[in-house]
Amino acid sequence: MHWHILGAGSIGCLWASLLSRAGPDVSLILRNRAALEQWPDDGRLDITGAGEQHRLHCRLETPATELPIRHLLVTTKAYDTLRAVEAIQSRLQPGAEIVLLQNGMGQQQALLEQLADIRLWAATTTAAAWRESRSLLHCVSLGDTHIGPLTGDSPSLPSGWDKLAAPLHPCADIQPHLWRKLAINCAINPLTALYGCRNGMLLENAGHREVMLRVCEEVERVAAARGIELFPGGLAARVTEVARATGDNLSSMLQDVRHGRRSEIEQITGFLCRQARLLNVKVPVNLSLLQGIRALGPHDG
């Protein structure tokens, strides 16, 4: 069995290690030849932290490599999903297994519309890792990963995933889990990016906390209108826990904004606002956060 991974960021590299230790061959598909040549020592990757201490040698490829793909894990930024998969689409074999492990929503449905004859899963994880360099990954936590099929004939887990040494929760319906992660991201990411603060500051600054609570109320109304149960104790309580546990972290959106990169705002708050419009729910605070982040820099379209 051979898993290909599109998106060689920290989560892609962590999964390269988990999959390779579970048995399959693993290839990282890098964007182009230049990215491939920057990788040291032919795909050497050291993983350390959270009980992990491994060295693996991944095969490195570009989209142009002429090898068939039967098992594909996508860990790119959400907005890059369709472009990245299109670049390798001619290599996908009939019935190929594809797992999307990303923040945000909307890209899952868009991919289903782009591809025929695949088996697709979506996954969401609380695993955390960071890369000190291309070949050194620090695993902070293996977290919890929920995964579920998006196509009718898919088994509960993709091939080989039953042997992953990480807490994995197969679910018949992955949608509520994607919504829960989306809800947390809606309440933390745009605020930290606009205020330029660490996650924990959303709890310490009374003004920031007030906005965060209003975001939570709006997100809960949209989820309820969509028939999704978020958290029994309420979204604000869950967001408070996450902001406290990740208090010293810079959210992924703040990091994107600071580096002048495109953010995932359209797949997080943008998705929420599009759902709200369809469901006729008013979300003025989320809309103003969407506009605020759009004004900061590169965005979709």
Residues serving a catalytic function are: 181
The enclosing H or E element of 97 equals strand 92-101
Q: Which of 249, 263, 269, 275 is the binder for ligand KPL (CB under 6 A)?
A: 249
Rounded Cα distance, 202 and 205, in Å: 6
Q: Which is nearer to ligand KPL, 112 or 197 (CB)?
A: 197
Q: Is residue 108 a contact residue for ligand KPL (CB under 6 A)?
A: no
Rounded Cα distance, 59 and 152, in Å: 32
Q: Is residue 140 a contact residue for ligand KPL (CB under 6 A)?
A: no
Q: Which is nearer to ligand KPL, 88 or 137 (CB)?
A: 137
The amino acid sitting at 179 is W
- 8 A C-beta contact, residue 84 and residue 76: yes
- Nearest approach in angstroms of CB 4 to ligand KPL is 24
Q: Which is nearer to ligand KPL, 169 or 244 (CB)?
A: 244
Token pair, residue 45, equals: 């990757």
Q: Which is nearer to ligand KPL, 108 or 251 (CB)?
A: 251
Q: Which of 103, 108, 124, 267 is the binder for ligand KPL (CB under 6 A)?
A: 103
Separation of first and last alpha carbons in the chain: 37
Q: Which is nearer to ligand KPL, 249 or 275 (CB)?
A: 249
Using CB under 6 A as the binding criterion, the count of chain residues that bind ligand KPL stands at 11
Provide the pairing of β-strand 44-49 with 52-57: antiparallel
Rounded Cα distance, 247 and 259, in Å: 20
- Nearest approach in angstroms of CB 187 to ligand KPL is 8
- Nearest approach in angstroms of CB 252 to ligand KPL is 3
Token pair, residue 244, equals: 């406290």
**CA-CA distances (angstroms) from residue 47 to 27, 40, 41?**
16, 15, 15
261: three-class secondary structure by DSSP: coil
Site string for ligand KPL, 183-222 (x = CB under 6 A): -xx--xx---------x-----------------------
For 22, residues 6+ apart whose C-beta sits below 8 A from its C-beta are 160, 161, 163, 164, 165
Site string for ligand KPL, 53-92 (x = CB under 6 A): ----------------------------------------
Q: Is residue 242 a contact residue for ligand KPL (CB under 6 A)?
A: yes
User: Footprint of ligand KPL on this chain (CB under 6 A)?
Assistant: 103, 184-185, 188-189, 199, 242, 246, 249, 251-252
